Amino acid sequence: MTTIPQSIAHGITIERWTRASRLALGGVAIALVLFAIAPLTLGAGAIDRLTALFIYVILAAMWNALAGFGGLVSVGQQVFFGLGAYFTIRLADAGLNPFLSLFAAALITGAISLPLSLFMLRLKGGEFAIGMWVISALTHMLVNLDRLIQGETGTSLISLNVYDSGTRRVVIYWLALASMAALLGLLFTLLRSRAGAAIQAIRDNEDAATSLGVRVIATKRLLFVLAAFGIAVAGALWLATATTFQPKTYFSVQWTAYMIFMVLVGGIGKFEGAILGAVLFFVIETFFGAMGVWYLIGLGATAVLFSLFLPHGLWGEIERRFDLRLLPVGYRVKFSGTPDTPRN
């Protein structure tokens, strides 16, 4: 990965990587190493909280990919979160190693999302958003019919009990960290590819993208399946940390509300914004999560205020004010003697 720049006319250059973005990439690598060795010094509570942070980052990044980059706003992504947990329970009960079940469940969920996309992607705008919510509600009812789940009573991932709590906690932490890094890396690579350019072209103007030869449905399907898989990974990992599975918890629209909050606050359509939003949500939850209903009211009020006064989120405002691009997925046009113009 190298900076272009490529001159296209006198006084005009196009670049992608900047000095700040190269430093940021090095910082990300260092942070991942530090996170990897953190369990050697951290206590059980801190390890559990960081595991939750990694899961939040996955959720925010996947919803941002779908809505922020692909223009597919959904209020039903909890269906994939719940299915990731449900299939983990099912596979572990069938005798598969519980840790392997986490990722096998995500693969099954991703596979299910493929035929689901055949008719869901025919819907647009509000129809797609509400349609996904309906699919989530129907799936919730079907899961309740499974005798293993015992309705809303739920069940537990009892096969994890063969591991002592300390080993289990650290392994889940490392799996969450590796999953976050892998999914962010995959998404970053995708958005910087030709497919990524097609994704953003569809978001900006689907008809224009079609006229340029972009395969709209196939491109949307790629993003839809990736988001489903990533959110299923998050659901399976959350189950591993909680061990108990109750359908009403995992299929709750609250999970999508959290995703939307993180992305709106951090910056929709900004790769860095989803990560920043997840960190902010994590901090707010850590300090105010025990306030119950007032905590949820506060989250809603914060989201409304950001929508009104900072529609591009915190990272969007930082990028606008300081021209700071740490993980660029697009190019930037530079004109001699004029401010840089981003092309994301």
Mean pLDDT of the chain: 87
Q: What gap in Å lies between CA 247 and CA 150, rounded to an integer?
A: 10
Q: How far is it, in rounded angstroms, from Cα 51 to Cα 164? A: 18
When mean pLDDT is compared across 57-61, 113-117, 279-283, 324-328, the lowest value belongs to 324-328
| pLDDT beyond 60 at 131 | yes
Q: Could you tell me the CATH number of the domain that includes residue 73?
A: 1.10.3470
Contacts of 211 (CB under 8 A, 6+ apart): none
Any residues with CB less than 8 A from the CB of 23 and at least 6 apart, and which?
Answer: none
Q: Is residue 336 part of a domain?
A: no
Residue 215's contacts (CB-CB under 8 Å, 6 or more residues apart) are 198
Phi and psi at 323, nearest 5°, equal 50, 45
On the CB side of 131, how many CA atoms lie within 13 Å of its CA?
15
Instruction: Give exposure, 174-209, as e/b (b: 16+ Cβ within 10 Å).
Output: bbbbebbbebbeebbebbbeebbbbbbbbbeeeeeb
Confidence of residue 87 (pLDDT cuts 50, 70, 90): very high
Range of the domain at 28: 18-327
H helix runs in 289-331, sequence order: 293-309, 313-322
Does some domain include residue 343? no
Average pLDDT value for residue range 267-282: 92
> Containing H/E element for 55?
helix 44-63
Among residues 134, 136, 86, the alpha carbon closest in space to that of 109 is found at: 86
Structural domain contains residue 232: yes
Total domains, the chain: 1
Tell the residue number behind the tokens 């395969």, with chain if given.
Answer: 215
2 lies in some domain: no
Please indicate, yes or no, if residue 93 is contained in any of the structural domains: yes
Per-residue pLDDT at 344: 54
| Least confident window among 13-17, 201-205, 280-284, 287-291 | 13-17
pLDDT at 262 (0 to 100): 94
Closest CA to 262 of 83, 77, 32, 21: 77
Check: CB of residue 76 under 8 Å from CB of residue 66.
no
Report if residue 344 sits inside a domain.
Answer: no
290: confidence class by pLDDT, cuts 50, 70, 90:
confident
Question: Taking the alpha carbons of 220, 221, 224, 227 in that order, is the dihedral positive or negative?
Answer: negative
How many Cα atoms sit within 13 Å of 35 on the Cβ side? Answer: 22
User: Would 334 be classed as within a structural domain?
Assistant: no
23-33 per-position pLDDT tens digit:
888 889 999 99
**pLDDT for the residue numbered 316:** 85
Looking at residues 188-197, what average pLDDT do you find?
Answer: 87
1: confidence class by pLDDT, cuts 50, 70, 90: very low
**pLDDT band of 209, cuts 50, 70, 90:** confident
Tokens of 36: 């990897």
Between the two ends of the chain, the Cα-to-Cα distance in Å is: 17
Asked if residue 341 lies in contact with residue 16, where contact means CB atoms within 8 angstroms, the answer is: no
**pTM, two decimal places:** 0.89
Within a domain: residue 178? yes
Q: What is the DSSP letter of 96?
A: -
